[in-house]
Chain A
Amino acid sequence: MRIPLSALIGLVMTGLFVLSAVFAPWIAPYPIDAAVGKVWEGPSSQYWLGTDTIGRDILSRLIYGGSVTIFVALSSSLLSFGMGAFFGFLAATRGGWIDTGLSRIVDLMMAVPSLIVALVVLSVLPLNLTVLILVMGVLDSTRVFRLSRAVAADIAVMDYVEAAKLRGEKQGWIIFREILPNAMSPLVAEFGMRFIFAVLFISTLSFLGLGIQPPLSDWGGMVRENKDGLVYGKAAALMPALAIAVLAISVNLVADWILQRTSSLKGGRGG
């Protein structure tokens, strides 16, 4: 199997981000919250990406922040996937009032912009990582629900699913052995997309001050801390912004490649 260049770049970059997030304490040249230099120093051999608004090393904070951002985004997308796919498959295979009920609830949730819902909910609830992940996961699960319901509905009408029902198979076999393997590729690609949205979402929330709270830091929060520097021509705020963009593009490249390899939902060995 040949991997196209774009996918290779995506895979390598995503891998680097994940590795640096996991091994942050060993890689980061300075501690996360120590003011080691002067305020807003430019990039130098000592501080590769310069220092921030109170003189902390930006590279170190990026590495530590990345681990928080990626952890929160990954957890919330796993949650949204678990919920969305479970209810989506349930709606598609059961149909009837279960399908109607779930679909209308999702319609209702999607009718209100998720950022607004998140802002309202987070301003009421205590701000900690668990709440953040739960809120983001539930809000995002509506989109996963839509996709998995559509994909599963396509597959659920295939004769082989009917044949399984006629054989007397239980719901579990039908969902996990007949439908899921055929729905995997679009769902995996969608997982990449959801992950990116989660990264953007948590960054937005942190930028607005409702996301990750100090002493923890994440990329959105770093943009917020350093945004005033932009007025004085200091690039500190651009570093975390760039990190968000590069991660989003890298994961996107991988997701694209996975989706491309799926020739069709219904046929073929699926490479």
Chain B
Amino acid sequence: MADLLTIKNLRIEATAYPPGEAPRHLVLVDGVSVSVQKGRVLGLIGESGAGKSTIGLAALSYGRGGVRLTGGQVLLNGRDIRAEGAAGLRALRGREVTYVAQSAAAAFNPAKRLMAQVIETSLLHKLMTKEQAEVRAIELFAKLGLPNPETFGRRYPHQVSGGQLQRAMTAMALCPKPDLVIFDEPTTALDVTTQIDVLAAIKEAIRDTGVAAIYITHDLAVVAQVADDILVLRHGKAVEYGATDQIISTPVQDYTQALVSVRRIDHAEKSDAAPILRVQGITARYRGTDFDVLQSITVDVAAGQTLAIVGESGSGKSTLARVITGLLPARSGQITFDGRTLSPDLANRSKDDLRQVQMIYQMADTAMNPRQTVGTIIGRPLEFYFGLKGEAKRARVQELLDQIEMGAGFENRYPAELSGGQKQRVCIARALAAKPKLILCDEVTSALDPLVADGILKLLLNLQAQEGVAYVFITHDLATVKAIADKIAVMYRGKVVRYGQKSDVLAPPFDDYTDLLLSSVPEMKTGWLESVLKTRKMESAGN
């Protein structure tokens, strides 16, 4: 079959302008060749900065601000679109090639109804009349499993859920009957239970319309469900290119093997022990609302062990962490720590109570003051709680840096000079500096690439073994839970629906929600999606 899109020796360069420094020249993509045939799906996979999205946008002959396509060919239907002028590109974009962005919430215009936005490109390119376009859009809404397809288009973006918005954007991309659709991490921002529906809808729509697609993601298990071929990228270069089955089952390159075996940390559950933290009957609501986001939550955390709290966004996981820290005082219920009752309000807790409970955040970027050096960030708790100064403080900071496996030379660096994984490690060191008995970890690995996240999880497990610190580990990712938990609490709409030792919680019989949650985690094998959809008991909340 003739190739619809052929990329040959693509080279993409950019110039970065860091403030106050000399401009830097970067090669983003170097010598990548790949092709897509009609009706097939190519998966692009790699960690952040691998050049996935940049290559995806190159299929539109588009470079984001300051990004230039400097070498190679991008052949679409046999002609080199790199040579096209502005008018040629305008005719091609949104017609022959369309694009589905990661964050649908940010990509839709909040002031316009969905229908107007979904059919906009079709009308702009004069492909059909308004009536024809609306009929097609309604067909697509139905195909993508959106509720009430006839009236769905009359809604505004804020009136539908994130998963529905992502499907509406897929409808927008498919409406002008393009030859090629680029899906740029379309399910990454969604909950795991919603992701599966969107994934199934996208897969079916691709199959039914016979369109070719490029599917960009950092999650190999997801791409295994939709792609026919996979190109593994790293640092802008192709690592491995082959059929999906081959990449998943018999990867050749070391890097691909690492990606395939990611999330397989095994952690033997410890037997239950005396609790360090007891949360009893906690009910809480945010100021100015009349809705309890937490409803009589009761869980225990054993000393030196990990309680994982799982659930999708809005289930109240992070709110529970805020209540434990005292940022959000509970309306009723009691928190007991190490045998003594903690004041509900942060302001009334003793310095020692504050020291004993530390917190690590999801976004390490915003959790560190950009104007403080690593030395200051880790040193402050030492100074504040233990009165360490000068050489003693410096030595302890270095000791902590060694503990988080970062070594010498980081003390004087600013957060902006660290990688994502390093930033999270510094946040761990800051928490550790207080010598706490409990650390609350709020989605600490969610913003990281899989391999980096694995490293952080291993570090946390090691630190627990060395220091005997207990974790409350909040996450929506069940693979992470399996890797780190001793006990699990499953949360759904402000309640704990299932709670116990890991082995008990993860063993059948399941309640409906736990079943949905467990079955929604993509597995690293082809055909998983279809088998799951057949056996599910409950639809996701986002539907």
Measured CB to CB, the residues of A under 8 A from B are: 1, 158-160, 162-163, 165-169, 177-178, 181-182, 261-263, 266-271
Nearest chain B CB to A121 CB, angstrom units: 39
- B353 shortest CB reach to chain A, Å: 9
B321-343 interface with A by 8 A CB criterion:
325, 327
Is B286 engaged at the interface, CB distance under 8 Å to the other chain? no
Closest to B430 in A: A163
Contact status A261-B384, CB under 8 Å: no
Q: For residues 390 through 437 of chain B, which have their beta carbon under 8 Å from a beta carbon of chain A? A: 414, 416-417, 430, 434
Q: Is there contact, CB below 8 Å, between B371 and A166? A: no
B residues less than 8 Å from A266 (CB atoms) = 366, 370
Q: Which of B351, B365, B369, B417 contacts A181 (CB 8 A)?
A: B369
The reply to whether B366 and A269 form a contact with Cβ atoms under 8 Å apart is no
Cβ distance A177 to chain B, nearest Cβ, rounded Å = 8
The answer to whether the Cβ of B508 comes within 8 Å of any Cβ in the partner chain is no
The answer to whether B371 and A270 touch across the interface, beta carbons within 8 angstroms, is yes
Q: Say how far A110's CB is from chain B's closest CB, in angstroms.
A: 27
- Other than the given A163-B359, A167-B381, 5 more pairs (CB < 8 A) read A160-B368, A167-B384, A181-B369, A267-B416, A269-B371
Are B416 and A166 within 8 A (Cβ)? no
Q: Is the CB of B369 within 8 A of A269?
A: no
A182 contacts which of B349, B358, B363, B371 (Cβ < 8 Å)?
Answer: B371
Listed residue (A163, A178, A261) with the most chain B CB atoms within 10 angstroms of its CB: A163
Out of A159, A168, A263, name the residue touching B19 (CB < 8 Å).
Answer: A263
> Which residues from 342 to 368 on chain B have a C-beta closer than 8 Å to any C-beta of chain A?
346, 349, 351, 354-355, 358-359, 361, 363, 365-368
Instruction: Please give the distance in Å from A173's CB to the nearest CB on chain B.
Output: 9
Query: Does residue B88 face the partner (Cβ distance < 8 Å to A)?
Result: no
Q: How far is the CA of A236 from the CA of B351 in the complex (A)?
A: 68
Residues of chain B touching chain A, judged by Cβ–Cβ distance below 8 Å, are 18-21, 325, 327, 346, 349, 351, 354-355, 358-359, 361, 363, 365-372, 380-381, 384, 414, 416-417, 430, 434
Chain B residues with CB under 8 Å of A181's CB are 369, 371-372
Point out the residue from A162, A169, A178 that lies within 8 Å of B384, measured CB to CB.
A169
Instruction: Identify the closest chain A residue to B414 (Cβ).
Output: A269
Mind listing 25 A-B residue pairs with CB under 8 Å? A159-B363, A160-B368, A163-B430, A165-B346, A166-B325, A166-B346, A166-B358, A167-B384, A168-B349, A168-B355, A182-B369, A263-B18, A266-B366, A267-B365, A268-B18, A268-B19, A268-B370, A268-B416, A269-B20, A269-B416, A269-B417, A270-B371, A271-B19, A271-B20, A271-B21
Task: Assess whether A270 is in contact with B366, with CB atoms less than 8 Å apart.
Answer: no
Q: Give the docked Cα–Cα distance between A263 and B369 (Å).
A: 16
User: How far apart sit A162 and B322, CA to CA, in the bound complex (Å)?
Assistant: 11
Partner of A270, one of B325, B361, B368, B370: B370
CB-CB under 8 A from A262, the residues of chain B are 19
A100 to chain B, nearest CB (A): 13
* A contact residues around B367 at 8 Å (CB): 159-160, 163
| Distance (whole angstroms) from the CB of B148 to the closest CB of chain A | 37
User: Across the two chains, which residue of chain A brings its CB closest to B17?
Assistant: A263
Given the contacts A1-B20, A261-B20, A268-B19, A166 and B327 also touching, CB distance less than 8 Å: yes
Closest to B431 in A: A163
| Bound complex: CA A267 to CA B349 (Å) | 32
Please state if A158 and B366 are interface contacts (CB–CB under 8 Å): yes
Q: Give the 4 A-B CB pairs with smallest separation, nearest first.
A: A271-B20, A263-B19, A181-B371, A159-B367
CB pair B354 A160 closer than 8 Å:
no
- With contact pairs A182-B371, A269-B370, A269-B416 given, residues A159 and B361 touching in the complex (Cβ less than 8 Å): yes
What residue in chain B is nearest A181 (Cβ atoms)?
A: B371
Report yes or no: A178 in contact with B369, Cβ–Cβ below 8 A: yes
For residue B504, give the distance in angstroms from its CB to the closest CB of chain A.
Answer: 32
> B residues within 8 A CB of A269?
19-20, 370-371, 414, 416-417
Cβ of A99 to closest chain B Cβ, rounded Å:
14
- Does A182 lie within 8 Å of B354, measured CB to CB? no
